[in-house]
Chains A and B, each alone.
Chain A
Amino acid sequence: MFKIQHAEFLAPGIKRFVIEAPRIAHKYKPGQFVILRLYERGERIPITIEHSDPERGTIRIVVQSVGKTTNLLNSMNTGDSILNVVGPLGKPSEIEKFGTVVVMGGGVGTAMAYPTAVALKNAGNRVIAIVGARNKELVILERELRESSDTLMITTDDGSYADKGFVTDKLRQLIENGTRIDLVLAIGPVPMMRAVAEMTRKEKIRTIVSLNPIMIDGTGMCGGCRVLVDGKSEFACVDGPEFDAHRVDFSVLVQRNSTYREAEKKSMEEFQQDPNKQLETVHAGQTGACALEGVGR
Chain B
Amino acid sequence: MTQPTKPTSLNVLKPNALPLKERMKVPRQHMLEQPPLERATNFTEVNLGYSEELARREAQRCLECAKPICTNDCPVGVKVKEFVQLIVAGDFLGAAAKIREDNVLPAITGRVCPQEDHCEGGCLMGKKVQPLGIGYLERFVADYEQRHLDISSLPKASPTGKKVAIVGSGPSGLTTAGDLVQKGHEVHVFEALHTPGGVLVYGIPEFRLPKQIIREQIDYMRAMGVVFETDVVVGRTVTIDELMEEEGYDAVFIGTGAGLPQFMGIPGEHLNGVYSANEFLTRINLMHAYEFPNYDEPMLDFRGKNVAVIGGGNTALDAIRSALRLGAGKAFILYRRSEAEMPARKEEVKHAREEGVEFQVLAAPLEFLDDGKGWLTAARCQKMALAEPDASGRRRPVPIEGSEYEVPLAVAVIAIGTSANPIVQSTTPGLNTNKWNYIQADPTTQRTSRKGVFAGGDIVTGSATVILAMGAGRRAAKSIHEYLTTSSDW
**A residues apposed to B, CB below 8 Å:** 23-24, 27, 37, 41-44, 68-69, 83-89, 216-224, 226, 228, 233, 235, 238, 252, 255-256, 258-260, 263-264, 266-267, 270, 292-297
Contact = CB atoms under 8 A, between A and B. Distances in A.
The 6 closest A-B CB pairs, nearest first, are: A263-B298, A255-B374, A223-B276, A222-B279, A43-B296, A223-B261
B367 to A, nearest CB: 15
Given A43-B296, A43-B297, A297-B212, 17 more contacts: A84-B230, A86-B192, A217-B193, A217-B282, A220-B423, A221-B260, A221-B278, A221-B421, A222-B279, A233-B263, A233-B269, A235-B260, A252-B374, A255-B271, A255-B272, A258-B374, A294-B194
Contacts of B260: 220-221, 223, 235, 238
Contact of B296 (A41, A84, A228): A41
Interface in B215-255: 215, 218-219, 222, 230-233, 236-238
Interface residues of B, number: 55
Interface stretch (B65-73, B285-293, B340-348, B353-361): B285-293
B415 to A, nearest CB: 12
B194 A69 contact: no
B300 interface: yes
Given A219-B423, A238-B422, A258-B272, A267 B293 contact: yes
Contacts of A37: 194
A288 to B, nearest CB: 13
B60 to A, nearest CB: 37
Contacts of A83: 194
A61 to B, nearest CB: 15
Contacts of B193: 86, 217
A295 B201 contact: yes
B195 interface: yes
B381 to A, nearest CB: 21
Contacts of A84: 194, 230-231
A235 B214 CA distance: 29
A248 to B, nearest CB: 12
**Which of A218, A223, A235 has the most chain B CB atoms closer than 10 A to its own CB?**
A223
Given A89-B236, A293-B215, A295-B214, A224 B270 contact: no
Given A37-B194, A221-B260, A221-B282, A85 B231 contact: yes
Contact residues of B: prevailing secondary structure: loop
A223 B237 contact: no
Contacts of A264: 298
B318 to A, nearest CB: 15
Contacts of B279: 216, 222-224
A27 B234 CA distance: 11
Contact of A68 (B212, B257, B296): B296
Contact of B287 (A44, A221, A258): A44
A208 to B, nearest CB: 20
B402 to A, nearest CB: 28
27 contacts: A27-B237, A42-B296, A43-B295, A44-B287, A69-B296, A84-B231, A86-B194, A87-B237, A88-B236, A89-B233, A219-B423, A220-B259, A220-B260, A221-B282, A224-B276, A226-B263, A233-B270, A238-B260, A238-B423, A255-B272, A255-B373, A255-B374, A256-B374, A267-B293, A294-B230, A296-B195, A296-B211
Contact of B283 (A216, A266, A295): A216
Contacts of B195: 294-296
A233 B288 CA distance: 26
Interface string B181-200: 00000000000111111000
A235 B270 CA distance: 12
Contacts of A68: 296
